[in-house]
Amino acid sequence: MNPHASMIITLSLIMGPLITISSNHWILAWTGLEISTLAITPLIAKQHHPRAIEATIKYFLTQATASTLILSSSIINAWTLGQWDITQMSNNTSCAILTTALAIKLGLAPFHFWLPEVLQGTSTTTALILTTWQKLAPLSLLVMTTQSLNTPLLLLLGLMSTLVGGWGGLNQPQLRKIMAFSSIAHLGWMITIITFSPKLMLLTFYTYITMTTAMFLMIKLLETNKISMMMTSWTKLPTLNTIMILILMSLAGLPPLTGFMPKWLILQELTKQHMFIIATMMALLSLLSLFFYLRISYCATITLPPNSTNYLQQWRHKTNQKPYLAPMATLSITLLPITPTLLTLL
Amino acid sequence: MTPLHFSYLSAFIVSIMGLSLHRTYLISTLLCLESMMLSMFIALSMWPIQLQTSSFMLTPMLMLSFSACEAGTGLSLLVASSRTHGSDHLQNLNLLQC
């Protein structure tokens, strides 16, 4: 890409969510959302093959519709209350429209259909940006309006997302689609807890960003995009293959790893609020996600010698070691012992 | 609800229904997006006129410039899809659903 164009795209990609986070006025928040949507669009469409164009069209249509819905909800709120403050969104209609629009933007369960397909059509780096940095602005809007949001609606969205995120990834051979469904499931956990404790939701979001970044960097480094290609990944970087299994278990939320921390705290908070049924359902639904993470780990480990692989060896490119993969992998494995520190920091 | 509010809301609802229910061509989807934006332009320009706050007079222009950017992006995607898929039928966009 042209260096000027890529500089402008990168700058506005960074600026857009930052404008939304730091804004106090609905127009400015909407401006930030629009800037980030318009900036990521050329990045998705950069490779001019039909799949990239299709992914761009799907992404653009959903995001544009969601941002118009956000603006219309704020206009309705301004008509009834006469002000544009984000934190004082107390009209019920506009709150419901806003929640729906942000669910479309994030890819929550009844509106999730665009996310796996868009991730499948892009490169791994763009998919990483889409699943981490682009979620920041809508989630920050949800945190800012958290006093006036409708709790049963959010609980329904969260439960459905956890269900769909686990269910959709079960029969999926493509790694990026699996990561999309894992992203939907994690967002479901975040949305469930958001009205009870926004701090906990932020903690979940940070750990989710760390684990997803580590996993996407790993996928990019190993150049695998299907589960069956994982079978030969141990021949490239054996140590990294072992660490990848740990990261996958951390995404699934198994105890000695980082991913257990948000799930543990969320279940504790839900139990404190006397929502035993929802806590039980969330815990059981995360088993579905555990199944497909285990399937990836199985394919990555089970074909070590003396067994023979039933997948062809890939062509070996010269791999550049990513310097930020090591801290991300370390953080996504070992953060559980400092949970109290993290809770006081937030 | 005043007639102005009613006309804005009905225009917005009709255009979002068109966006979500009439799914044959990409160009009609883009037109529906644009009509949503224009109805919001009317709403945003009504607000400062009714409340007589002159500091908000420029926000419809800001919104209109962003909607022009969006329309430009949408039309460029229309060109790109007609180059890669041969047409702008939304049914042709089915490569990624496996």
Count of other CB atoms within 10 angstroms of residue A207: 25
Domain annotation covers residue A144:
no
Q: Which CATH class is domain B3-83?
A: mainly alpha
B44·A51 Cβ contact <8 A? no
What per-residue confidence (pLDDT) applies to A260? 94
Residue A259 near residue A253 (C-beta atoms within 8 A): yes
Concatenated DSSP letters for B25-36? BHHHHHHHHHHH
Does residue A90 sit in the same domain as residue A160? no
Place of tokens 């550049």: A320
B95·A78 Cβ contact <8 A? no
Distance from CA of A227 to the nearest CA of B (A): 14
The Cα angle at residue A299 between residues A293 and A300, in degrees rounded to 5: 90
Reported ipTM: the value is 0.95
| CA pair distance A39, A32, nearest whole angstrom | 11
Q: Each residue of A314-338: b (16+ CB within 10 Å) or e?
A: eeeeeeeeeeebeebbebbbebbee
Q: How many domains does chain A have?
A: 2
What per-residue confidence (pLDDT) applies to A235? 78
Instruction: Select the residue from B32, B57, B70, B78 to test the A interface by mutation, using most A Cβ atoms within 10 A.
Output: B70
Strand partners, A174: A226
What per-residue confidence (pLDDT) applies to B98? 63
Per-residue pLDDT of chain A (346 residues; tens, 9 = 90+): 889 999 999 999 999 999 999 999 999 999 999 999 999 999 999 888 899 999 999 999 999 999 999 999 999 999 888 889 999 888 899 999 999 999 999 999 889 999 999 999 999 999 999 999 999 999 999 999 998 898 999 999 999 999 999 999 898 889 999 999 999 999 999 999 999 999 999 999 999 999 999 999 999 888 888 888 888 777 778 888 889 999 999 999 998 899 999 999 999 999 999 999 999 999 999 999 999 999 999 888 866 556 666 666 777 777 777 788 889 999 999 999 998 888 888 8
Domain annotation covers residue A270:
yes
Does residue A313 sit in the same domain as residue A193? yes
Query: Which among A50, A71, A78 has the least Cβ separation from residue B85?
Result: A50
Domain annotation covers residue A53:
yes
- Between the CA of residue B55 and those of A25, A26, A176, what are the distances in Å? 13, 15, 47
Does residue A216 sit in the same domain as residue A305? yes
B80·A82 Cβ contact <8 A? no
Does residue A231 sit in the same domain as residue A334? yes
Residue of B nearest to A27 (CA): B59
Q: Each residue of A160-182: b (16+ CB within 10 Å) or e?
A: bbbbbbbbbbeebebbbbbbbbb
Phi, psi of B93 (to 5 degrees): -85, 70
Of A121, A137, A165, the domain-final residue: A121
Residue A312 vs residue B86, higher pLDDT: B86
Domain annotation covers residue A140:
no
Phi, psi of B29 (to 5 degrees): -60, -45
Residue A338 one-letter amino acid: I
Q: For chain B, give every domain's residue range.
A: 3-83
Query: Which among B19, B47, B98 has the least Cβ separation from residue A65?
Result: B19
Q: Which domain holds residue A15?
A: 1-121
Domain annotation covers residue A285:
yes
Residue pLDDT, tens place only, B41-79: 999 998 888 888 888 889 999 999 999 999 999 999 999
Count of other CB atoms within 10 angstroms of residue B42: 15
| CA pair distance B29, B22, nearest whole angstrom | 8
Domain annotation covers residue A56:
yes
